[in-house]
Amino acid sequence: MTQVKRSRLTLITLVLVFLLPIIAAKLVLDRHWYQGAATNHGTMIVPPLDIADVSTGLPAGWRLGLLVDQECPAQCQQALHIMNQIDVALGKETERVTPTVIHTSTLPPTLAQHPTITTVASSELAQRLGEIPPHSLLIIDPLGLVVLYYPTHADAQRMRMEAKNVLADLRTLLKLSKVG
């Protein structure tokens, strides 16, 4: 092989070394062969639900919320218990998160058993949260955005598994958060 052919072959090889990964990446992304991983366990609300203008009664900082109506069925009672457990499990971060129950008018009598949970009566706030399934646990950031929600279950075992998901997401958000 002559010197010119060897130089051209080296140049072509060098160009291919840099172009092939770019072409392969473009092909994988365009053909949807790559499924991006989601690190959140709850259902993310995209775009986040902005409740800042109607959240005057909510405590400051991060809130773990539960929207209840006049009745509190078994899944609601399980959620209340789990809210207390998550508050304890947060450890030193517990000061940053306030367990909060949002209700419309009359408070269910079962809430008297949970004195550590803050209650907020606001029909405007409850109406704004109407698009989220009832008795769902909500994560509300300090800016007044509902970012994630989780279903509640009447079965204690399933609710404990859901609590692990809430706790994992809350820890991640608190770790990465620059506010609250």
Please check the confidence at residue 180 and state whether its pLDDT lies above 70.
no
Alpha-carbon gap, residue 150 to 132, rounded angstroms: 10
- Is the dihedral angle over the CA atoms 127, 131, 136, 139 positive or is it negative? negative
- The average pLDDT across 65-91 equals 87
Q: Residues of the chain with pLDDT > 70: what percent?
A: 94
Tell whether the model's pLDDT for residue 163 goes beyond 90.
Answer: yes
Query: At 44, which helix (H) or strand (E)?
Result: strand 43-50
Asked if the model's pLDDT at residue 62 lies above 80, the reply is yes
Instruction: Report whether pLDDT(108) > 80.
Output: no
**Interval 90-104: pLDDT, tens:** 999 999 999 998 887
pLDDT at 12 over 90: yes
Res 173 pLDDT > 80: yes
What is the amino acid identity at position 53?
A: D
* pLDDT score of 157 more than 90: yes
95: left (phi over 0), alpha (psi -120 to 50) or beta: alpha
The Cα-based distances of 136 to 40, 84, 112, 126, 180 in angstroms read: 16, 15, 20, 12, 23
Question: What does the pLDDT average to over 145-153?
Answer: 93
- Percent above pLDDT 90 for the chain: 44
22, pLDDT greater than 80:
yes
Q: What pTM does this model have?
A: 0.75
- Residue 39 corresponds to which tokens in the numbers above? 């690190």
pLDDT at 26: 92
**Cβ atoms within 10 A of the Cβ of 109, count?**
8
